[in-house]
């Protein structure tokens, strides 16, 4: 077993759990989530497979908790080789429809979580001359589907954060990968907040019908990490919008307008 250490947020379920199980093959795991029971289940699965780890009930919205986690990791292990900023939530509402408290709730988790993680760990990794930061964004960052404005903004911010950090870390030995999956089977829809309950039902249905699950995305992430890729865009439609947004931005805007008009009928 290697002495390498990996920190994963939102490790209690979904993609966070799938990534933790894979990273545990050659890393000691530091698992964080706000769900203590789910965290213990992930840790149990890791130990059953012969891995090592520990759990911390930490909210990614708490800067002091992040600082304490960083200090613990370096005091206990002296290193952090992988940081995965995975914790995330969803909000279904058009611009101006959502309660501002809900918008703040989403941005605090989806955007400030990765900002805090990078803030407290990146410079230590740079000083060590090694490490890999993985930020989980979404294809929504460039597809910008209507009805999920706050979510789109948060994920676009994560992409910008990752691009900037990758440039800043060039030549330091620290790699940065941003992950942009489309719909895949996960529990994010059930925890989603929305103005209209039908939006939650539709989202859950789309997620359940997806042909890709958390294990598929986790495998793609590990491949991207091994290749030191800047982007890990999962699913063909995500790759299509990734290209279209850069080559034909107005076309993507028109597609969004058509979808929005159909949703309002």
Which fold would CATH assign to domain 5-264?
Rossmann fold (3.40.50)
Q: Distance between CA 231 and CA 170 in Å, rounded? A: 15
Cα separation, 243 vs 43, whole angstroms: 38
Select from 195, 191, 215 the least CA-distant residue to 204: 191
pLDDT confidence of 202, banded at 50, 70, 90? low
Q: Give the whole-angstrom CA distance, residue 90 versus residue 149.
A: 10
User: What is the average per-residue pLDDT within 199-208?
Assistant: 61
Q: Which of 165, 167, 161 is nearest to 122 (CA)?
A: 165
Q: Given a cut of 70, is residue 205 above it in pLDDT?
A: no
pLDDT in tens, 83-96: 999 999 999 888 99
Residue 29 has a pLDDT of: 98
**What are the angstrom distances between the C-alpha of 77 and each of 96, 116, 234?**
46, 20, 33
Active site residues: 151
In this prediction, residue 195 carries a pLDDT of: 66
What is the percent of the chain where pLDDT is above 70? Answer: 80
pLDDT (tens digit per residue) in 182-195: 877 676 656 777 76
* 228-245 average pLDDT score: 72
> What's the mean per-residue pLDDT of the chain?
87
Output 100 or 239, whichever has higher pLDDT.
100
Lowest mean pLDDT among 51-60, 218-227, 240-249, 251-260: 251-260
Burial of 31 (0-12, 13-18, 19+ CB in 10 A): buried
Evaluate if residue 247 carries a pLDDT over 90: no
| Statement: the pTM of the whole predicted model exceeds 0.85 | yes
Counting residues of the chain whose pLDDT is more than 90, the rounded percentage is 68
Can you give the pLDDT at residue 237? 61
CA distance 226 to 189: 30
Is the pLDDT higher at 147 or at 117? 117
Q: Phi/psi at 181 (nearest 5 deg)? A: -80, 155
List, in sequence order, every residue forming a beta bridge with 232; answer none if it has no partner: 179
- Determine the pLDDT at residue 264: 43
Q: Which among 231, 212, 211, 210 is positioned nearest to 155, based on CA atoms?
A: 231
């Amino acid at each position: 077993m290697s002495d390498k250490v990996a920190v994963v947020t939102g490790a209690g379920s979904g993609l966070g759990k799938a990534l933790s199980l894979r990273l545990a093959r050659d890393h000691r795991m530091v698992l964080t989530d706000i769900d203590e029971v789910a965290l213990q289940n992930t840790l149990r699965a890791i130990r059953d497979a012969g891995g090592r780890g520990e759990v911390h009930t930490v909210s990614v919205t708490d800067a002091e908790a992040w600082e304490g986690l960083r200090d613990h990791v370096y005091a206990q292990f002296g290193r952090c080789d992988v940081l995965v900023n995975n914790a995330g939530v969803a909000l279904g509402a058009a611009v101006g429809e959502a309660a501002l408290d809900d918008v703040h709730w989403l941005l605090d988790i989806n955007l400030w979580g990765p900002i805090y993680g990078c803030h407290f760990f990146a410079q230590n990794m740079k000083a060590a001359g090694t490490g890999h930061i993985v930020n989980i964004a979404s294809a929504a960052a460039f597809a910008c589907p209507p009805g999920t404005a706050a979510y789109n903004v948060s994920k676009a911010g994560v992409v910008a954060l990752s691009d900037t950090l990758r440039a800043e870390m060039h030549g330091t030995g620290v790699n940065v990968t941003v992950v942009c999956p489309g719909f895949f089977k996960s529990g994010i829809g059930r925890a989603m907040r929305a103005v209209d309950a039908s939006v939650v039902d539709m989202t859950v249905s789309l997620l359940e019908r997806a042909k890709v699950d958390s294990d598929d995305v986790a495998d793609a992430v590990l491949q991207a990490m091994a290749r030191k890729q800047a982007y890990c865009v999962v699913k063909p439609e995500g790759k299509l919008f990734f290209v279209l947004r850069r080559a034909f931005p107005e076309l993507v805007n028109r597609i969004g307008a058509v979808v929005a008009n159909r949703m309002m009928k």
